[in-house]
Each structure stands twice: as structure tokens, then as C-alpha cells.
Structure 1
Amino acid sequence: MSSIHDFATWEPLLRLVRDSHAEHLAAPGGYFTGQIGLGGWTLPAPQPRPEPGRALQVADMQDQFTAVERVQAALRADGVNNVSYMVETAPDGKTLLHVVDPGPAVEYGVVSPFVGSLLLVEGAVPEPWRRLPEEVPGAAPAPSADPALLERTLRERLPDAIGATEEEIAEAEARIGVALPDELKALYRVTRAQWQDWSGDYEAQERVSDAVGCELFSLDGLYIADAASRPCPWRFAATDAVVTAPDAAVQGLVGSPGWIVFGDNGGGDRVALDLTPGPGGHTGQVVMIDHERSIGAALRADSLTDMVVNRRKHWRSDSDWDRPPVVAGVNVRSPESAAAAARPEPEVLRIGGREGEPVGLAPVIGLPRLRTLTADPGTLADPLEIAGLTGLEYLSLGPEEWRVLLDAGATPRSLSAAGIEVQGERHPLPILDLANELLALWDRPLISRTVFEARLDTGR
């Protein structure tokens, strides 16, 4: 089995790129970049045009599929999920193929094909992902919570269901490390929601879903929706924040050790019992965890009894309120100077998408909670002012701003992760070198690069 570091793995792909863009590659500075993963790829080769009146067929793109499949086979053999590459022409006329392995200290690139966020501290996660629930004195189950009524209702709706034994319930509790609330035990005593109990009868499964109000997981499928169950790249996670309104029913968390997921709405949103409610909520309320969001959950019912008996199907997020500006922006739609963001609350400051003079950071130096700064290239008056932001855990800057910090030995050592903001057309290799300089400062694994040479006329 070939490896991603063997030229034979890449030869079909290299020929495709070279034959499709020979003129561009022959021009000074011409290059193409792309990525290939087990679930998709980017390939700078044109889509074939079928004959008039005929739809595009798989056979029309067979060369592309064959080239990509060879690389994907090597990825599987090497135990790697994705790889980046660049094709360019050297001054001596040779075609160069750069195979880039970001390594374990670089997240998958979103903007750049090579460099996502740099993970400077192994295992570190952004602050919102470290936030635990706050204690709410006096939190209690809702008056509607009634395990006996819940069990009677479900037995009437599902007279032939097979329920879980006390031993099976205890095994589930031991596995997830949380005692199941009485309502959830009552539900599973009626139906354990195992596929083998339905003997392949999809209608039986639908009857359970209709009776409960969601696609019910079996006891083996229960899990705790803690922060680790909701991963998010540093680039996005570091610019978000956890905020809970004073009267919120649900705490605005990434995840909680008290969110017990027991079902799904059929669209990927999880249904959970909430044992860590907000100031305006109830212990054991039913919440929905939106799969398209990274923070927060929405209230569906005050109790599992309420959801099942009254067939609650809709859910609501807590309404907007006059929350402190924990995420501040300096751009065309927000305050035009950092002074407007100089309040005690901001955790995140984003600078970019603006016109006018570069921004000075003096007004925000000393802010007690500021942990993230992102600044588009050219938006900072003096990058060295960043040295005064001693609590940063994430910093994203343009290449020139990073160069200023590195040359002055002023890179904040408090960082757990970093981003390089690349705008417009920039040659990738200097960006890779810059990323490796930052990784080396934290003694992290570097981005590696394998270079193959191939002449245009022979392909070798």
C-alpha cells in the first residue's frame, strides 16, 4: 500500500493539475493548492463539458476520481484524515509538488488550505469550553413533574412495549456516571427502545416516537452532553462567549455534566433532561440542543411529564436582553475606536472590516477579562501594544503583524492557540514558515513538507 509521501501516490493528480493549467503554472509565481480528505477534496481541474443534450456522467470525471481515490487509499493506509498539497513551477522549469502534513498541532485549515489555528498548548480548549454550570440556589423540579402520571400515560399509549429492568437502568447510570431522574426511569420502565424488541417493525418504532415526542434512544444510547461532546475549532470557539441572563431558564453553556441526552428530533437536534437549570428554570426540564449552534440550549418543556402528556413539540430560546458586551467589535458596524470597547465586560475583541485610521489598543490594555483578540491585516496602529494584553489565550493577526511581534520577541506567552489571518492572494510557503516559527516557540510539532520534482515533458 502506498503512502502519501510516495510520488506514485500523487502522479495521476499531478498530471491532471499540470495538464489542465499548464499555461498558468508556466507563468512566474504560478501555483495551485488543494486538499484531499476521506470525506471530500478540492482539485484545481476543470469539470468536463458533456456533449449537448447529455448529462454529465461519472465516466466523464473518472480521471479525477481515480487520482483522488489513490490519495485517499494512501490516507487510509497511513491513518490520516486529510492532506494538503501545492503544485508550482520552479525557476528551472521543473514542476514541484509540495505535500504538506500539518501534524497534531494544527487544526484543519478553513481559510488557508494549509494552516488552521495553531494549537500552542496540547489539550487546551477555549474558555467557553471550560465553563461549568453555576449553582442555582433553590432550583427544584417543576410542579408538572409526575413520574407516576408519566408512566401511566405511556403504558396507555404503548401497551405492548417492553420496558427496561432495574438492573439495566442501574447499568446505564453506572456507564454515564449520573443517577437518572425519576421521570426518565419511569419512561424506560415502559419502553427500553431497543430495535430488537420491535422485530424490524418500523411502525412500532414510530409508535414509540409518537408516544414520547422524540426519537427515543435506548439506554445504551444515553450520554452526557458536556462541552467535550460539542467540539468546535479554536478559530470560532475563541470568539464566542458564555452568557446566562438573570432570569434564563437554561444556562448558556457549551455543555453541562447535567445534560442527559435521551433522544433526537429526527433532524439532528438532541433532546435532553437538564439537571443544571438557569435561574428561571426547573431541575429536570427538557431542553433541545441545536446541532447548528455551539453554545446554549432551548427550553422545550418544564418537565418530561409535561412534554409527553401535553405533547410539547416546540421549543424556545431565552429572549434577548440587555446583556453586557462580552464580545466587542471595532468595524464598520460597531464602535470606530477601541475606546468604545474599554469596559470591564469584554472577553473578545474583534477588529476588522473597517475604513479609516488603524486602531490603537491602549484603551483596552488592562481589561480584566479580555482573552481573545482577532485583528485583520493592517488594522492595528502598533502591533507591539499587544504585549500589554497579558491575559490573551487566543490571538489572530495578519502575517506582517506576527512578524513584528516575532522580531521584537513580544509574542504573548499566555497564548494557548493562535491564528494567522490571510487575506487576498498570498503564497502559502511563507505562511507555513511563519506558522512553524510560532509552533517552535512553544516547542510544538512542526508542519512538515515533502517536495517532489517532475518535469513538464515526462511527468518524472
Structure 2
Amino acid sequence: MVDHRPPLPSLSDFATWEPVLQFMLTGDTDRRAARPARVAGRIGRHGSSLAHRGTRGPSARIAVEHIRGALARGGVEEIAFRAEVQPSGRTVLGLVWPSPVVEPAVGYPDLGVLLLADGAIPEPWRRGPVPVPGAVSAPSADLELLERTLRERLPGAVGAAEEEIAAAEARLGVTLSDELKVLYRVTRVDYDDDFEEADRAGAAVGCELSGLDHLYAVDGAVRHPSWDLSATRAVNRAPDAAVQGLAGSSGWIVFGSNGGDEFAVDMTPGPGGYLGQVILVDHEQSLGADLVADSLTDFVLGRLRDERGDRRGDQLPAAARVGAGHLESIQAAAHAALEVLSIEAWNGAPLSLAPVAGLPCLRTLTAWPGTLADPLEVAGLTGLEFLELGAQEWRILLDAGAVPRTLKAAAIKVRDQDHLPVVALANEILALWDRPSIIQTHLEGDLGPAA
């Protein structure tokens, strides 16, 4: 177990944490039954996650605010803690300090996700567009009608020169659609020089219009939320999809917004789409985009479509869940296109991973503690980039030297297991990739016997 001098000595006093621990132990049944109680949580500069639904008393609220203040003064974003409390009240408290190689788990007291490679993100956010040979513009794309409509709505507007359009294409590395070129030949949209004229141009087109110099492509990596939220996500690849299931594309050229979401001309459409179609990139989603209009002409004329993209990353064939309320066997989940397999807690016999061994697309496996018949079967999953297992399963893999070296990130499920040994286990995993160790500080104290 790694034990270092605390980065913030002001939080090294057990008495500072006692009100928080007492609050979290309210209603504890473990110690009343002569068993150790275990609690865990996070306190950050802007909030806290404490695994108890009760109302905090004044002492607990004051303690949490004191800790948050100390973090703010020390420039530390958050601190995770884990405690084991004996029936007698004797307590060992572990403080886990922020680490550049740990991505905190969102909304849970888990240690978080171990980042095994700098800048690594899940495959869907790295995925680029698949070429669609023969993709053509929509029949509704009418350059003359589009230009005439815009000039009627924007009399006297100043358009961009051909050199400016060519410069934008060179900057983006993409040839703009003919419709988008028509738009900017009519109005160059410069908010710095003439805000009212630019605002009028936006009203004529039907969105908050970007200037030619401000066109940009949607970057999939920017939309990546976190491994904790995205490792089990997948996008179904429908063979007739109008919009490709991507996080971003060099061919998704953003030309405007509705104040939050982005409108883009799609130069990399799906097999069922059109070159230059207009799509909406929803700011509340991290994958995919919605088809809005078959062409920019349709968009300007208000001939819109209401077609939501298929972002269902929880269904076959892309992803599958096995366990209570889901599939009843791994055999039922096995499929050549399976990307994500999640094994939930259930009361059945432990499961074998043999049915999914060698699947070409399987990149994520999460399994609740005790659900795997033989954790060493993980070695047969040759393309894993994310793995989440219980502490005992990780121990078996580490002892056998069988941790998949294809991993880019990993996590340890600890919600129903001993919390304090987890950091030492995590540091063993990190050491395989020569990553920095996590710092954990131990404090000891006495909370008194259970009430």
C-alpha cells in the first residue's frame, strides 16, 4: 500500500473527518451484527458524493465545508476517501489524492478509471468516417433557388471572394459543398464589422450563422465525456443510415447553431444520406448526429426533417448486458459485431467467457465481482481496450501475469468489497504500464461502538 506525506497537511487530522464518517454510518447494521463497516465517498471543491441518503446534520455539513475550503486553498480539485470501521469503533481511513492517471468515477465513490495511456479515448470517439463511394447531393439541392432566395432576403449583402472561400477550404482540408459556397458568396457574415448585418444573415438562413473564417469540423475527441461514462457506449452501424454513427468527422462542417446545438453540412454522409445534407450535433449527446434536412436548400426554405439518429448503444449487435433484467447468458450476447459486454450482478452461476473469445470487435468488458467462472479467460479477449473487474478477479490476473496489454484504461469495482486495499491493487496495474503511483494517506482513529 502506498503511503505518502499528505499533499494537504490540514486534512491529515482524523478529527476533521469524524463528523463525515459518523454521518455516513447512520443506520449502520454491519457493526451491530459484529461485522466491520465500510464507507467511501468523494469531496470536491464544488460538491461531494457521500453514500448516504439521509439529511446531513450541522456537524457533518460544517466538516464537509471545511474540507472543501481546504481543498480550494490548496488548489486540489477533490479527494476520495475510504474507511473501514470495526465494531469497537476502531477506524482506518484512507485518503486518496488526485492523480493525473486516474479519471474520477462520476457519481460513485469508486476509485475511478486508471488511464494507462496518455490521451487515450474509447474507439467510438476515435472512429473516422467510412467512405461511401457514389455519394451524391440530394435532388432538392438547387443552387439557383438557394442563391435567389438568399439575395431576396439579404439585399445589398456583401459576399466572400473566391480566394476567401478557397482559403477556408485549405484551412479545413475539405472541399465545401456547392450550396455552402453559394451561401458565403451571398454573405460573408462578419460579426466584428457589422453585427446587425450578420444577425440579419442568420435570420435569413434559419440559425445563428457562423462567419466563413469561423467554419470548423466537429472533433470527436472533444465530445468524449470520460471513460467512466463512455467505455460501455457504442453506436449501431445501420447499413442504410443517413448519418454515420460518429462522434465527429472532418466532413461535418459547422456553419451555425441554435444557441446550444451545432448545425453542420455533412460531407461524409452514411449510405442512406446525401452529400451536403444538414445535420444537428446535439450538445447534450457525445455520439452521433441527427439529420435535419437533405440539403442546405431545404434547410433555408424550412423543409426540415425530424429524424433522430440511432444512438442506442445498449442493444445488440454493438453492445450487450448479461444479468438480472437483461440477457440470461453470454452465448446470447456473442456476435461478430459485439463491441461491449457488460455482466451485471445476478444470482446465477458464474459465467464462462468462452463464447466471446476471439471476437474481432470486442473492446470493453465490465463484470461485477463473482460473476466470472474463470477470470483467466479474459486473456482470450485479444482486442480489449477497457476492462472493469472486481478486486479478486484483478488479483488473479495480476498473479498469473495475464492482464491484457492491449488495455488503454481499467477500473476496479469496489462498491461491495474492501476499499482500502484497492489503491495498492491499482498501483500494481499502473506499474505494468510504467504509470505514476496513486498517493494514499492513512489516518487512524476511534468512532466509538455502534449506537
Same fold (TM over 0.5): yes
For 2:422, what is the secondary structure of its paired residue? helix
Tell me if 1:151 matches 2:147. Answer: yes
- Equivalent AA in structure 1 for residue 209 of structure 2: L
Tell me if 1:104 matches 2:100. Answer: yes
- Identify unmatched segments of 5+ residues in structure 2: 1-5
- Equivalent AA in structure 2 for residue 399 of structure 1: A
Counting only pairs closer than 5 Å after superposition, residues 116-131 of structure 1 correspond to structure 2 as 116-131=112-127
- Equivalent AA in structure 2 for residue 72 of structure 1: A
Q: What is the aligned counterpart of 1:264 among 254, 257, 262?
A: 257
Tell me if 1:33 matches 2:41. Answer: yes
Give the structure 2 partner of residue 409 of structure 1. Answer: 401
Q: CA deviation at 1:64?
A: 6.0
Q: Deviations over 1:244-267 (max 9, x none)?
A: 32221111122211111122223x
Q: Which whole-Å CA distance do the structure 2 matches of 1:291 and 1:148 have between them?
A: 33
Tell me if 1:449 matches 2:444. Answer: no
CA RMSD of aligned residues (A): 3.7
Q: Which whole-Å CA distance do the structure 1 matches of 2:98 and 2:172 have between them?
A: 35
Q: CA deviation at 1:211?
A: 2.2
Q: Deviations over 1:174-195 (max 9, x none)?
A: 4433333232233234444444
Q: CA deviation at 1:293?
A: 2.5
Q: Deviations over 1:157-205 (max 9, x none)?
A: 2336554455554444344333332322332344444444455x6xx77
Q: 1:346 to 1:97 in 2, by over 3 A?
A: closer
Give the structure 2 partner of residue 6 of structure 1. Answer: 8
For 1:334, what is the secondary structure of its paired residue? coil
Q: CA deviation at 1:376?
A: 1.0
Among the aligned pairs, what percent are the same residue? 52
CA contact (8 A) 1:241 1:347 kept: yes
- Equivalent AA in structure 1 for residue 356 of structure 2: V
Q: CA deviation at 1:84?
A: 1.4
Q: 1:135 to 1:88 in 2, by over 3 A?
A: closer
CA contact (8 A) 2:82 2:420 kept: no
Q: CA deviation at 1:454?
A: 9.2
- Equivalent AA in structure 2 for residue 435 of structure 1: A
Q: Which whole-Å CA distance do the structure 1 matches of 2:79 and 2:233 have between them?
A: 28
For 2:355, what is the secondary structure of its paired residue? helix
- Equivalent AA in structure 1 for residue 292 of structure 2: R
- Equivalent AA in structure 2 for residue 244 of structure 1: R
Give the structure 1 partner of residue 421 of structure 2. Answer: 430
- Equivalent AA in structure 2 for residue 71 of structure 1: L
For 1:129, what is the secondary structure of its paired residue? helix
Counting only pairs closer than 5 Å after superposition, residues 131-280 of structure 1 correspond to structure 2 as 131-159=127-155, 161=157, 163-166=159-162, 168-198=164-194, 207-266=200-259, 268-280=260-272
Q: What is the aligned counterpart of 2:358 among 350, 358, 366?
A: 366
Q: Which whole-Å CA distance do the structure 1 matches of 2:322 and 2:176 have between them?
A: 47
Q: CA deviation at 1:15?
A: 6.4
- Identify unmatched segments of 5+ residues in structure 1: 50-60
Please give the TM-score of this superposition, normalised by the length of structure 2: 0.81
Tell me if 1:394 matches 2:386. Answer: yes
Q: 1:318 to 1:115 in 2, by over 3 A?
A: closer
Q: CA deviation at 1:427?
A: 4.6
CA contact (8 A) 1:337 1:360 kept: no
Please give the TM-score of this superposition, normalised by the length of structure 1: 0.79
Q: CA deviation at 1:336?
A: 1.8
Q: 1:366 to 1:303 in 2, by over 3 A?
A: same
Give the structure 1 partner of residue 321 of structure 2. Answer: 329
Q: 1:73 to 1:148 in 2, by over 3 A?
A: farther
Q: 1:94 to 1:329 in 2, by over 3 A?
A: closer
- Equivalent AA in structure 1 for residue 249 of structure 2: S
Q: Deviations over 1:82-138 (max 9, x none)?
A: 221438699999998755334222212225446222122333332222322111111
Q: CA deviation at 1:14?
A: 7.6
Q: Deviations over 1:367-418 (max 9, x none)?
A: 2332221111111112122222222222111111111211222222222221
Q: Which whole-Å CA distance do the structure 2 matches of 1:449 and 1:441 have between them?
A: 19
- Equivalent AA in structure 2 for residue 7 of structure 1: P
CA contact (8 A) 2:375 2:396 kept: yes
For 1:35, what is the secondary structure of its paired residue? strand
